Amino acid sequence: MILCAGRNETFDFARPIGVGLIESAINLTKFVLEEKPAFLFFLGTVGSYGNYQPLDLVYSHNAANVELGFLQNQCYTPLENCIEAEKAYVSRGTIHPSPIINSSNYITTDQVLAQQMLNRNLELENMEFFSVVSVANQFKIPCSGLFVVTNYCNENAHNDFIKNHAKAKELIALHVEKNMKI
């Protein structure tokens, strides 16, 4: 099953699951229970904490849920906040190694905090991927994600996202159509 977030990030060949951690977890769980897919493949855009450049293409099966308050020692969690997809599909021809994609309902716009994410081996952020991997693992479904970087996580994050979003969606669609023969 090919998945995407939804709203302004949809593809004709992908099922939208919603934006953010909650919508995506609820809707993907419904799809999994109803359709029992053999594999989940999530498509989306990501912001870079600094090591990846806009319009880089990235595969991953690693996800995290690290909130900015955690970096500032203002909170803690008893939950597992860094996970890997069980039986993840690893593509031949992967553009980059499988980085950890951090998910939050908030977009990082502070470059100092972005650097702290990098210091913890978190490379990119996407609002839904932690939910996707969590649901996949709960139901023991292999999964992975394909992402295109739209922006750096800094004060220009939103403007750069808007500027690069259409091109990023185009790159995702071209890559999927070429490699998955949809």
| Segments forming the whole domain that contains residue 45 | 2-180
Residue 88 has pLDDT above 70, yes or no: no
Is the Cα dihedral 124, 26, 41, 82 positive or negative? positive
> What is the gyration radius of the CA atoms in the chain, in angstroms?
15
Give CA–CA dist 10/139, Å, rounded: 24
Residue 3: strand, helix, or coil: strand
- CATH number, domain of 8, equals 3.40.50.1580
Q: How far apart are the first and last CA of the chain?
A: 12
pTM for the whole thing? 0.92
Mean pLDDT of 141-157: 98
Residue 134: strand, helix, or coil: helix
Mean of pLDDT over the chain: 93
pLDDT for res 179: 86
pLDDT for res 89: 61
pLDDT for res 181: 65
How many distinct structural domains can be found in the chain?
1
Neighbours of 30 (CB within 10 A): 11
pLDDT for res 94: 46
Confirm if 102 and 33 have CB atoms less than 8 A apart: no
- Tens of pLDDT along 32-86? 999 999 999 999 999 999 999 999 999 999 999 999 888 888 888 888 889 999 8
Share of the chain above pLDDT 90, in %: 82
Give CA–CA dist 22/73, Å, rounded: 24
Spatial CA neighbour of 64 closest among 21, 117, 100:
100
Confirm if 56 and 149 have CB atoms less than 8 A apart: yes
Give CA–CA dist 147/130, Å, rounded: 13
Please state which of the ranges 4-8, 21-25, 74-78 shows the lowest mean pLDDT: 74-78
Confirm if 163 and 177 have CB atoms less than 8 A apart: no
Mean pLDDT of 87-102: 69
Backbone angles phi, psi at 85, to 5 degrees: -65, 135
Confidence tier at 135 by pLDDT (50, 70, 90)? very high
Residue 91 has pLDDT above 60, yes or no: no
Confirm if 150 and 168 have CB atoms less than 8 A apart: yes
